[in-house]
A and B are shown apart, each in its own frame.
Chain A
């Protein structure tokens, strides 16, 4: 086979396709002086007409409508700009589109998992130049929200509403008990509230300890014991931080009390997390860990809205009572991808959505998410019923933490979760060795990604 000429042709083609996929992008943000001095007033007319493409993750009708209204507030301010929206877009799709050269003008994500990777690779444009140009004081953002929107000094995202995680409890199923404050209280209460049938099958669970259950990810549960993900150099701290072992041992004991098989069978018969048959709505579980947005979902569900429920911070490790009141927080992030057709317009939209107090308050009230600027949080129009105030409290608690940014965040969480599935099943004989294996996977991957 004489492939030499073909090989030559191949290498030629290769030199053409390597480096960057996609077409030439317009100048990045900050390369030219900003057309607006402060984003409002007559200077807004300085931007030429354009149509922006905005991708976001909201998918239910209520959420989509609320978000569209927030964007309408922007187009009212900039009548020459039109915004077309795509809903329910996942991070995978956003990354693929940007890397494939098909980026929208603005993209929002529900998770902070990819922020490090996006900032580091330049998939999203650095916003610092325009933030400085427009004289925005980032001090208006809470520290946690500032932290999860930047990586290694590159700010490529802005926070757009935040999520805080706490405990929801069904008052009818609690039989008068108060929400637990420590892990041992949670265990005790779970045992008391769980109902089984004659065959030992679970009918109502007090609390589902499985790491595979909806929001029970290690990132959400870790703050209950103050567990640490990374060392300062970005290597994994999972194996070396005793807090994880404390959490895992507590969790395994509860799983074993249910019986792993019984618990799995129960878990697999539950309705969808985002559907009307959610087990909490159906009264199949007394206590759940969930985000503040569950309040809105309960209120919007025709059957669940009359449920008598309460919210509280998550219970914490018995030996760390000072953690009580804190929890996990993360949030929706929004930015301007590399390759955006109208980066300057896009920035105006991002700026409006993330810093305009009126817009944030309206959106927060509609979605029941935590607003991300101090002004919006203190605004009198912000609805503050008790169940929601719990989450405002968690969000502002000094011990509240987020998952530290890491370029392999998704991979690392998956590596840990994979191990946890083995663990709760009882397939792990040596916990230390198992966690060391997780550390190794994370560290090897870190090395491969270049640091």
Chain B
């Protein structure tokens, strides 16, 4: 089962001929045409929803465009974007999420899964409990967290006060806002926990028994048995985590909105990022520039930047993925 988890073969030859390792004696003529037929809706989809918009985004990035008038402005949008402190800030915020939130979630989920795997009784109920929060709709969960962590009226700081701890301002302080979102991510890590738990339970018991006879301690066992056995699953979680972090939008937007007390009543405006731009991610900045400020050309520059960031992480992950596979 594990052998099938490859996403990208380590080396691929041009032309895509079948690799000698997997000869297909029954290959028949006409498979190409049939494949094309089966793939055609998807190919149209890629052309319409991926290739065309990408080219179009490049085109618009050289224009001033507000959906009414289109005017060529050369590199103006690029110049503006690269001197705009908020672009840098949002890119760094997105990076923060990839570098801190994703690993935190993966490690936390792994820890909880390890704990659950070792429990013999009560595991079922606990499993349900740990999974439940991931079923809470994202918007609902975020709104709830902002309320619970409100420094003045929220119950969390109240509970902390019983223990003599002065709670921070959570979503209201630039330093704590992203960690608060990380807490929210840990709370909703049920899916990852379940995936890890299944992988851990799949590791054959006799491997541990043999290691224990050889005198390997818990940490050695984890390093040399558990980790290699579950590495594809870890990789999968890291990859999906990174995809998620790069397009992180909803939680940050809602948290800023609710925590800032921005009203949605007419006459008020809301700029994402509260507090102090600490929750402004690239996708939000793009959305705001394009669909609230109607600077479509500038938004397209943001889009290309976001594309570059996404592709950068894709390449890094795919390379690591390739290496991991060579190792196993």
Contact = CB atoms under 8 A, between A and B. Distances in A.
Q: CB–CB under 8 A between A and B in the complex? A: yes
A21 B70 CA distance: 12
A37 interface: no
A96 interface: yes
A274 B268 CA distance: 12
A444 B80 contact: yes
A91 B269 contact: yes
Interface stretch (B30-38, B235-243, B288-296): B288-296
B83 A123 contact: no
Interface stretch (A107-115, A151-159, A311-319): A107-115
A10 B55 contact: yes
Nearest to B277: A418
B66 interface: yes
Interface string A195-216: 0000000000000000010000
A398 to B, nearest CB: 26
A268 to B, nearest CB: 4
B77 interface: yes
Interface stretch (A11-19, A186-194, A300-308, A389-397): A11-19
Nearest to A57: B266
B300 to A, nearest CB: 12
B328 interface: no
Interface stretch (A1-9, A43-51, A236-244, A247-255): A1-9
B303 to A, nearest CB: 15
Contact of A266 (B65, B152, B266): B152
A6 B52 contact: yes
A33 interface: no
B243 to A, nearest CB: 22
Contacts of A132: none
A20 B65 CA distance: 10
B265 interface: yes
Interface string B63-96: 0111111110100110010011100000000000
B64 A14 contact: no
Contacts of B266: 56-59, 88-91, 109-110
Contacts of A121: 66, 68-69
Interface in B132-152: 150-152
Interface of A is mostly: helix
Contact of A410 (B83, B84, B269): B269
B307 interface: no
A145 B153 CA distance: 41
B153 A109 contact: no
Interface string B244-272: 00000000000000001101111111010
A6 B47 contact: yes
B51 interface: yes
A411 B265 contact: no
Given A57-B267, A91-B266, A99 B66 contact: yes
B276 A99 contact: no
A265 B152 CA distance: 5
Interface in A254-293: 264-269, 272-274
B51 A3 contact: yes
B283 interface: no
B8 to A, nearest CB: 16
A7 B153 contact: no
Interface in A66-120: 88-92, 95-96, 99-100, 109-111, 113, 117
A436 to B, nearest CB: 14
A395 B138 CA distance: 45
B71 A265 contact: no
A134 interface: no
B68 A264 contact: no
A268 B152 contact: yes
Contacts of A449: 64, 295
B263 to A, nearest CB: 6
Contacts of B84: 444
A380 interface: no
A422 interface: yes
Nearest to A410: B269
Given A10-B47, A121-B68, A264-B151, 10 more contacts: A10-B56, A19-B70, A99-B68, A110-B267, A264-B169, A265-B169, A266-B152, A273-B263, A418-B277, A450-B71
Interface of A: 3, 6-7, 9-11, 13-14, 17-21, 56-59, 88-92, 95-96, 99-100, 109-111, 113, 117, 121-123, 212, 264-269, 272-274, 410-411, 413-414, 418, 421-422, 441, 444-445, 447-450
Q: Which 5 A-B pairs have the closest CB atoms?
A: A57-B266, A269-B152, A110-B267, A10-B52, A99-B67
17 contacts: A13-B56, A17-B56, A56-B266, A57-B267, A90-B265, A90-B267, A90-B268, A92-B269, A95-B294, A96-B291, A110-B266, A269-B152, A414-B269, A418-B276, A421-B276, A447-B76, A448-B77
Interface of B: 47, 51-52, 55-56, 59, 64-71, 73, 76-77, 80, 83-85, 150-153, 169, 172, 260-261, 263-269, 271, 275-277, 291-295, 298
